[in-house]
Amino acid sequence: MLRAVLAAVLAVTTTFGVILPTAATAGPIEERQAIMKANGRDTKMGGDMLKGATPFDAATANKILANYAAAAKAFPAHFPAGSNTGETEAAPAIWSKPADWKAATAKFQADTAAAAALKPTDAATFGKAFGMVTANCKSCHEGFRIKKG
């Protein structure tokens, strides 16, 4: 339905010679960045709880861990061939070292699943689970993300 509408819009606008930015449709780059943005938001929220900036809440803590596990599962599907150029911070190593990339995404999935399975009811256990997950952020970004700006 959305595609049909977009196609119609494109057909109309190209008739009048208007060039739409390609960002008008959410491609794999936007999709994977949205997953990572959510990771960033959850990490800020979890970090605030662990620092005591916000009170520990078990339901929120478990939701954050469930989000991580879902993100880790969904993330690797958004790196098709050809999505290495454009407005992306994805490093060429994702495509040139596929075995290493697969290992990094598999580790992220395993660690997020193990962290969620801890089902923390106190801040100390949440801290342990949070640490298991966030070690992946750093290691994967070092190898597979080229931060711009």
Shortest distance in whole angstroms from residue 64 CB to ligand HEC: 9
Nearer to ligand HEC, 55 or 135 (CB): 135
Please spell the DSSP secondary structure of 60-103, one letter per residue: HHHHHHHHHHHHHHHGGGG--TTTTSSS--B-THHHH-HHHHHH
Shortest distance in whole angstroms from residue 38 CB to ligand HEC: 9
Q: What's the angle, vertex CA 53, arms to CA 50 and CA 113, rounded to 5?
A: 30
Shortest distance in whole angstroms from residue 99 CB to ligand HEC: 13
Nearer to ligand HEC, 61 or 136 (CB): 136
Contacts of 124 (CB under 8 A, 6+ apart): none
Please spell the DSSP secondary structure of 2-38, one letter per residue: HHHHHHHHHHHHHHTTPPPPGGGS--HHHHHHHHHHH
Nearer to ligand HEC, 27 or 58 (CB): 27
Shortest distance in whole angstroms from residue 24 CB to ligand HEC: 18
Nearer to ligand HEC, 10 or 62 (CB): 62
| Footprint on this chain of ligand HEC (rule: CB under 6 A) | 29, 32-33, 36-37, 39-40, 43, 68, 88-90, 104-105, 108, 133-134, 136-137, 140-141, 144-145
